[in-house]
Protein backbone atom coordinates (compact mmCIF):
# COMPACT_ATOMS: atom_id res chain seq x y z
CA UNK A 1 0.00 0.00 0.00
CA UNK A 2 1.35 3.43 -0.95
CA UNK A 3 2.35 5.72 1.89
CA UNK A 4 0.23 8.86 1.67
CA UNK A 5 1.67 12.30 2.35
CA UNK A 6 -0.43 13.73 5.19
CA UNK A 7 0.77 17.14 6.43
CA UNK A 8 0.33 17.82 10.15
CA UNK A 9 -1.52 21.03 9.20
CA UNK A 10 -4.16 19.17 7.14
CA UNK A 11 -7.77 19.93 8.10
CA UNK A 12 -9.48 16.99 9.92
CA UNK A 13 -11.81 14.90 7.73
CA UNK A 14 -11.10 17.07 4.69
CA UNK A 15 -8.90 16.48 1.70
CA UNK A 16 -5.88 18.60 0.76
CA UNK A 17 -5.44 20.59 -2.44
CA UNK A 18 -1.98 20.10 -3.98
CA UNK A 19 -0.76 22.73 -6.46
CA UNK A 20 1.74 20.72 -8.48
CA UNK A 21 4.27 22.29 -10.83
CA UNK A 22 4.94 20.31 -14.02
CA UNK A 23 7.88 20.45 -16.47
CA UNK A 24 8.07 23.45 -18.81
CA UNK A 25 9.71 21.35 -21.51
CA UNK A 26 12.24 18.84 -20.24
CA UNK A 27 10.39 15.93 -18.59
CA UNK A 28 13.44 15.16 -16.43
CA UNK A 29 12.48 18.17 -14.31
CA UNK A 30 9.44 16.33 -12.92
CA UNK A 31 10.30 15.71 -9.26
CA UNK A 32 9.85 12.34 -7.50
CA UNK A 33 7.56 14.07 -4.98
CA UNK A 34 5.32 15.45 -7.73
CA UNK A 35 5.05 11.99 -9.33
CA UNK A 36 4.21 10.37 -5.99
CA UNK A 37 1.53 12.91 -5.12
CA UNK A 38 -0.10 12.65 -8.55
CA UNK A 39 -0.27 8.91 -7.98
CA UNK A 40 -1.73 9.28 -4.49
CA UNK A 41 -4.51 11.85 -4.97
CA UNK A 42 -8.08 10.90 -5.85
CA UNK A 43 -8.27 13.27 -8.82
CA UNK A 44 -6.03 15.48 -10.94
CA UNK A 45 -7.57 18.74 -12.18
CA UNK A 46 -5.93 19.63 -15.51
CA UNK A 47 -5.89 22.77 -17.65
CA UNK A 48 -6.08 20.48 -20.70
CA UNK A 49 -6.64 16.77 -20.07
CA UNK A 50 -5.17 15.87 -23.47
CA UNK A 51 -1.92 17.74 -22.85
CA UNK A 52 -1.63 16.46 -19.29
CA UNK A 53 -2.54 12.98 -20.47
CA UNK A 54 0.76 12.76 -22.36
CA UNK A 55 2.70 13.70 -19.22
CA UNK A 56 0.76 11.34 -16.96
CA UNK A 57 1.13 8.43 -19.39
CA UNK A 58 4.90 9.05 -19.61
CA UNK A 59 5.23 8.64 -15.84
CA UNK A 60 2.71 5.79 -15.58
CA UNK A 61 0.20 7.82 -13.56
CA UNK A 62 -3.33 6.42 -13.86
CA UNK A 63 -5.15 8.78 -11.47
CA UNK A 64 -8.51 10.02 -12.85
CA UNK A 65 -8.42 13.51 -14.37
CA UNK A 66 -10.92 16.33 -14.60
CA UNK A 67 -10.91 19.38 -16.87
CA UNK A 68 -10.28 22.69 -15.11
CA UNK A 69 -9.68 25.73 -17.33
CA UNK A 70 -10.56 29.41 -17.72
CA UNK A 71 -13.98 28.68 -19.21
CA UNK A 72 -15.27 26.24 -16.59
CA UNK A 73 -13.50 27.44 -13.43
CA UNK A 74 -16.65 28.26 -11.49
CA UNK A 75 -18.47 24.98 -12.15
CA UNK A 76 -15.37 22.80 -11.82
CA UNK A 77 -14.32 24.55 -8.60
CA UNK A 78 -17.69 23.77 -7.04
CA UNK A 79 -17.37 20.04 -7.85
CA UNK A 80 -13.76 19.88 -6.68
CA UNK A 81 -14.56 21.63 -3.39
CA UNK A 82 -17.30 19.03 -2.75
CA UNK A 83 -14.73 16.26 -3.28
CA UNK A 84 -12.26 17.97 -0.93
CA UNK A 85 -14.97 18.36 1.70
CA UNK A 86 -15.59 14.58 1.42
CA UNK A 87 -11.96 13.96 2.38
CA UNK A 88 -10.55 13.33 -1.09
CA UNK A 89 -7.16 14.79 -1.97
CA UNK A 90 -6.90 16.64 -5.30
CA UNK A 91 -3.96 17.88 -7.35
CA UNK A 92 -4.19 20.87 -9.66
CA UNK A 93 -1.77 21.07 -12.60
CA UNK A 94 -1.43 23.32 -15.64
CA UNK A 95 -0.08 22.44 -19.09
CA UNK A 96 3.42 23.49 -18.00
CA UNK A 97 5.01 25.11 -14.96
CA UNK A 98 3.05 26.31 -11.95
CA UNK A 99 -0.75 26.46 -11.83
CA UNK A 100 -2.10 29.99 -11.15
CA UNK A 101 1.00 31.61 -12.70
CA UNK A 102 -0.63 32.98 -15.88
CA UNK A 103 -2.74 29.81 -15.72
CA UNK A 104 -6.09 28.80 -14.15
CA UNK A 105 -6.47 27.99 -10.45
CA UNK A 106 -7.13 31.24 -8.57
CA UNK A 107 -10.87 30.61 -8.20
CA UNK A 108 -10.32 27.11 -6.83
CA UNK A 109 -7.68 28.25 -4.33
CA UNK A 110 -9.89 31.08 -3.08
CA UNK A 111 -12.84 28.73 -2.57
CA UNK A 112 -10.61 26.14 -0.89
CA UNK A 113 -9.27 28.70 1.57
CA UNK A 114 -12.81 29.88 2.27
CA UNK A 115 -13.82 26.31 3.10
CA UNK A 116 -10.87 25.61 5.38
CA UNK A 117 -9.12 23.30 2.91
CA UNK A 118 -5.37 22.84 3.30
CA UNK A 119 -3.35 24.18 0.31
CA UNK A 120 0.00 22.50 -0.41
CA UNK A 121 2.29 23.76 -3.22
CA UNK A 122 4.69 21.25 -4.78
CA UNK A 123 7.79 22.90 -6.22
CA UNK A 124 9.02 22.65 -9.78
CA UNK A 125 10.20 24.55 -12.86
CA UNK A 126 9.08 28.11 -13.59
CA UNK A 127 9.82 29.66 -17.00
CA UNK A 128 9.94 33.24 -15.71
CA UNK A 129 12.54 32.44 -13.06
CA UNK A 130 14.64 30.35 -15.46
CA UNK A 131 14.69 33.25 -17.93
CA UNK A 132 15.43 35.83 -15.25
CA UNK A 133 18.46 34.17 -13.68
CA UNK A 134 20.07 33.46 -17.07
CA UNK A 135 19.22 36.84 -18.62
CA UNK A 136 22.23 38.76 -17.35
CA UNK A 137 19.92 41.52 -16.07
CA UNK A 138 19.61 42.42 -12.36
CA UNK A 139 17.87 39.74 -10.30
CA UNK A 140 17.80 41.27 -6.79
CA UNK A 141 14.35 42.76 -7.40
CA UNK A 142 11.99 42.00 -10.27
CA UNK A 143 8.36 42.16 -11.33
CA UNK A 144 6.74 39.16 -12.99
CA UNK A 145 3.90 40.53 -15.15
CA UNK A 146 2.94 37.53 -17.31
CA UNK A 147 1.00 38.15 -20.54
CA UNK A 148 0.17 41.69 -21.62
CA UNK A 149 -3.41 42.27 -22.90
CA UNK A 150 -3.90 41.18 -26.51
CA UNK A 151 -5.31 44.56 -27.60
CA UNK A 152 -2.59 47.08 -28.41
CA UNK A 153 -4.24 50.00 -26.60
CA UNK A 154 -4.69 48.02 -23.40
CA UNK A 155 -1.15 46.65 -23.57
CA UNK A 156 0.17 50.20 -24.05
CA UNK A 157 -1.66 51.37 -20.91
CA UNK A 158 -0.14 48.54 -18.87
CA UNK A 159 3.37 49.31 -20.14
CA UNK A 160 2.90 52.99 -19.30
CA UNK A 161 2.17 51.96 -15.70
CA UNK A 162 5.43 49.98 -15.66
CA UNK A 163 7.61 52.56 -17.41
CA UNK A 164 8.91 54.14 -14.19
CA UNK A 165 9.37 50.82 -12.37
CA UNK A 166 13.07 50.54 -11.39
CA UNK A 167 13.32 46.74 -11.28
CA UNK A 168 13.68 44.07 -13.97
CA UNK A 169 10.40 43.25 -15.75
CA UNK A 170 9.45 39.71 -16.83
CA UNK A 171 6.73 38.97 -19.40
CA UNK A 172 5.32 35.97 -21.25
CA UNK A 173 4.49 36.30 -24.94
CA UNK A 174 3.23 34.15 -27.80
CA UNK A 175 5.32 33.71 -30.98
CA UNK A 176 2.77 35.39 -33.26
CA UNK A 177 2.77 38.55 -31.11
CA UNK A 178 6.39 38.79 -30.02
CA UNK A 179 7.62 41.29 -32.65
CA UNK A 180 4.69 43.69 -32.23
CA UNK A 181 5.08 43.49 -28.44
CA UNK A 182 8.81 44.25 -28.60
CA UNK A 183 8.12 47.25 -30.84
CA UNK A 184 5.49 48.53 -28.40
CA UNK A 185 7.86 48.04 -25.47
CA UNK A 186 10.57 49.99 -27.28
CA UNK A 187 8.09 52.76 -28.05
CA UNK A 188 6.84 53.12 -24.46
CA UNK A 189 9.70 51.93 -22.25
CA UNK A 190 12.53 53.24 -24.40
CA UNK A 191 15.39 51.28 -25.92
CA UNK A 192 16.39 49.26 -22.87
CA UNK A 193 18.52 46.16 -22.56
CA UNK A 194 16.31 43.09 -22.94
CA UNK A 195 16.41 39.34 -23.44
CA UNK A 196 14.09 37.01 -25.31
CA UNK A 197 14.33 33.50 -23.84
CA UNK A 198 12.71 30.80 -25.93
CA UNK A 199 12.12 27.04 -25.74
CA UNK A 200 13.38 26.90 -22.14
CA UNK A 201 14.75 23.51 -20.98
CA UNK A 202 14.14 22.11 -24.49
CA UNK A 203 16.63 21.06 -27.17
CA UNK A 204 16.62 24.46 -28.92
CA UNK A 205 16.73 26.64 -25.79
CA UNK A 206 18.04 30.09 -26.69
CA UNK A 207 18.71 33.44 -24.99
CA UNK A 208 18.76 36.39 -27.38
CA UNK A 209 20.36 39.31 -25.52
CA UNK A 210 20.28 42.80 -27.03
CA UNK A 211 18.18 45.98 -26.83
CA UNK A 212 14.43 46.25 -27.44
CA UNK A 213 14.90 48.05 -30.76
CA UNK A 214 17.27 45.39 -32.09
CA UNK A 215 15.22 42.48 -30.79
CA UNK A 216 12.18 43.97 -32.56
CA UNK A 217 14.04 43.82 -35.88
CA UNK A 218 14.15 40.02 -35.80
CA UNK A 219 11.30 38.05 -37.34
CA UNK A 220 12.22 34.39 -36.90
CA UNK A 221 11.04 33.85 -33.34
CA UNK A 222 9.63 30.40 -32.62
CA UNK A 223 8.44 28.53 -29.54
CA UNK A 224 7.29 29.69 -26.13
CA UNK A 225 8.72 33.09 -25.13
CA UNK A 226 9.79 34.89 -21.97
CA UNK A 227 10.81 38.54 -22.35
CA UNK A 228 13.05 40.03 -19.65
CA UNK A 229 13.43 43.83 -19.75
CA UNK A 230 15.74 46.11 -17.81
CA UNK A 231 14.00 48.36 -15.28
CA UNK A 232 14.11 52.15 -15.56
CA UNK A 233 17.56 53.46 -14.73
CA UNK A 234 18.36 56.77 -13.14
CA UNK A 235 18.92 59.39 -15.79
CA UNK A 236 22.58 59.40 -16.74
CA UNK A 237 24.42 62.03 -18.67
CA UNK A 238 24.67 61.07 -22.32
CA UNK A 239 28.03 59.51 -23.08
CA UNK A 240 29.86 61.43 -25.83
CA UNK A 241 30.16 59.57 -29.13
CA UNK A 242 33.95 59.90 -29.10
CA UNK A 243 34.10 58.02 -25.78
CA UNK A 244 32.00 55.17 -27.17
CA UNK A 245 34.11 54.96 -30.32
CA UNK A 246 37.35 55.02 -28.30
CA UNK A 247 36.13 52.14 -26.16
CA UNK A 248 35.23 50.26 -29.33
CA UNK A 249 38.77 50.82 -30.59
CA UNK A 250 40.18 49.43 -27.36
CA UNK A 251 37.83 46.44 -27.44
CA UNK A 252 38.74 45.70 -31.06
CA UNK A 253 42.44 46.03 -30.23
CA UNK A 254 42.01 43.40 -27.51
CA UNK A 255 41.00 40.85 -30.13
CA UNK A 256 37.24 41.31 -30.43
CA UNK A 257 35.58 41.51 -33.81
CA UNK A 258 33.94 44.83 -34.70
CA UNK A 259 30.49 43.38 -34.02
CA UNK A 260 31.58 41.91 -30.69
CA UNK A 261 33.14 45.24 -29.68
CA UNK A 262 29.93 47.09 -30.61
CA UNK A 263 27.83 44.65 -28.58
CA UNK A 264 30.11 44.92 -25.54
CA UNK A 265 30.20 48.74 -25.50
CA UNK A 266 26.49 49.09 -26.28
CA UNK A 267 25.63 46.74 -23.42
CA UNK A 268 27.81 48.75 -21.04
CA UNK A 269 26.19 52.07 -21.90
CA UNK A 270 22.67 50.87 -22.80
CA UNK A 271 22.76 52.20 -26.34
CA UNK A 272 22.02 50.75 -29.78
CA UNK A 273 24.55 48.20 -30.95
CA UNK A 274 23.64 48.74 -34.60
CA UNK A 275 23.95 52.51 -34.44
CA UNK A 276 27.30 52.28 -32.68
CA UNK A 277 28.56 49.69 -35.17
CA UNK A 278 27.53 51.83 -38.16
CA UNK A 279 29.04 54.97 -36.63
CA UNK A 280 32.30 53.13 -36.04
CA UNK A 281 32.47 51.95 -39.65
CA UNK A 282 31.62 55.44 -40.88
CA UNK A 283 34.50 56.93 -38.86
CA UNK A 284 36.86 54.31 -40.25
CA UNK A 285 36.26 55.36 -43.86
CB atoms within 10 A of CB 226: 25
Topology of domain 16-125 in CATH is: Cobalt-precorrin-4 Transmethylase; domain 1 (3.40.1010)
Structure confidence by residue, pLDDT tens digits, 128-161: 999 999 999 999 999 999 999 999 999 999 999 9
Q: What percent of the chain has pLDDT over 70?
A: 94
- Evaluate whether 16-125 and 128-229 have a shared fold: no
Q: Quick check: 6 pLDDT over 70?
A: no
Q: Right CATH number for 128-229 from 3.40.50.2020, 3.30.950.10, 3.40.50.300, 3.20.20.70?
A: 3.30.950.10
Structure confidence by residue, pLDDT tens digits, 208-232: 999 999 999 998 899 889 999 999 9
pTM of the model: 0.79
Lowest mean pLDDT among 4-13, 59-68, 142-151, 155-164: 4-13
- Enclosing H/E stretch for 44: strand 43-46
Backbone angles phi, psi at 8, to 5 degrees: -65, -25
DSSP assignment string, 230-242: PPPPPP-PPPPHH
SS3 of 163-209: the string is CCCCCEEEEEECHHHHHHHHHHHHHHHCCCEEEEEECCCCCCCEEEE
Distances (CA, A) of 42 to 65, 86, 117: 9, 11, 15
Structure confidence by residue, pLDDT tens digits, 231-264: 998 754 567 888 888 888 888 888 888 888 888 7
What's the pLDDT score for residue 42? 97
Backbone angles phi, psi at 166, to 5 degrees: -85, -5
The full set of domain ranges for the chain reads 16-125, 128-229, 241-280
Query: What mean pLDDT, rounded, does the chain reach?
Result: 91
What's the pLDDT score for residue 112? 97
Dmax over CA atoms of the chain, in Å, equals 81
What's the pLDDT score for residue 8? 58
Amino acid sequence: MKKKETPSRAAPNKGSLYLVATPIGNLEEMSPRAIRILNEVSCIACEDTRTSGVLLKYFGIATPTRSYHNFNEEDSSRVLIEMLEEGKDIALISDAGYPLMSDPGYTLVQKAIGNGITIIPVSGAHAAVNALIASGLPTEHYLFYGFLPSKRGEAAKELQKLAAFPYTLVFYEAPHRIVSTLKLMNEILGDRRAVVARELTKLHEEYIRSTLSELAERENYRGEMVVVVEGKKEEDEEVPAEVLLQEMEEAAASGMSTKEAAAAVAGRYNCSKNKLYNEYLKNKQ
